[in-house]
Structure 1
Amino acid sequence: MAYAAETPRTEAALPLGWVSEMIEAFKLRRARRAAYRETLTELKAMSDRDLADIGLSRMMIDDVALEAAEMAVGK
């Protein structure tokens, strides 16, 4: 038992860097999703004529929203 008492607990501890990495990844995904939803909502609210004025069609809305989310938050 003397050996167990002399062994520091920090040697057996797991590195917790992965927890902070997971938290940061979650924050990044949440920010991207928020930017995506905001862009998607704004573009879907536009009329076909307004979309045509900016060079878009309804079929392009999802792709444009994804691209805007990546640009707003970064990759």
Structure 2
Amino acid sequence: MSTFDEVNNVRPAINNSIGGYISGVSARFAQYRTYRRTLEELQSMTDRELTDLGISRHSVRSIAYRAAYGG
């Protein structure tokens, strides 16, 4: 009977680790989509529009990165 108990104790741990992995991948993909969407939107703006927002063309990538990943 101890073998059955040991197997039952392992399954929740495996399910939690797989669920955590999938959740992490999903979160990273959502961050990447946010980065790409922000980058594309800022790159599509004219220099005048960016200047009105106080953004220079060369800082667009770093702004998109901070919007998606923080920091």
TM above 0.5, yes or no, is yes
- After superposition, residues 31-50 of structure 1 pair within 5 angstroms as 31-50=30-49
Find the counterpart in structure 1 of residue 22 from structure 2.
23
Q: TM-score, normalised by structure 1?
A: 0.75
Query: Between Structure 1 and Structure 2, whose CA radius of gyration is higher?
Result: 1
When the two chains are superposed, the root-mean-square deviation of aligned CA atoms in Å is: 1.9
**Alignment partner, residue 3 of structure 1:** none
Figure out how many residues of one structure are paired with residues of the other and give that number.
66
Question: Quick one: which amino acid aligns to residue 6 of structure 2?
Answer: E
Counterpart residue type for residue 65 of structure 2:
L
Q: Distance in 2 between matches of 1:67 and 1:27?
A: 19
Please, what TM-score do these two structures have when normalized by structure 2? 0.79
TM-fit CA distance, 1:53 = 0.5
After the TM superposition, which parts of structure 1 deviate over 3 Å for at least 4 consecutive aligned residues? Answer: none
Farther-moved stretch of structure 1 (37-46 vs 16-25): 16-25
Post-superposition CA distance 1:19-75 (Å, at most 9, x none): 11111111100110111110000000011111111000111111110111136xxxx
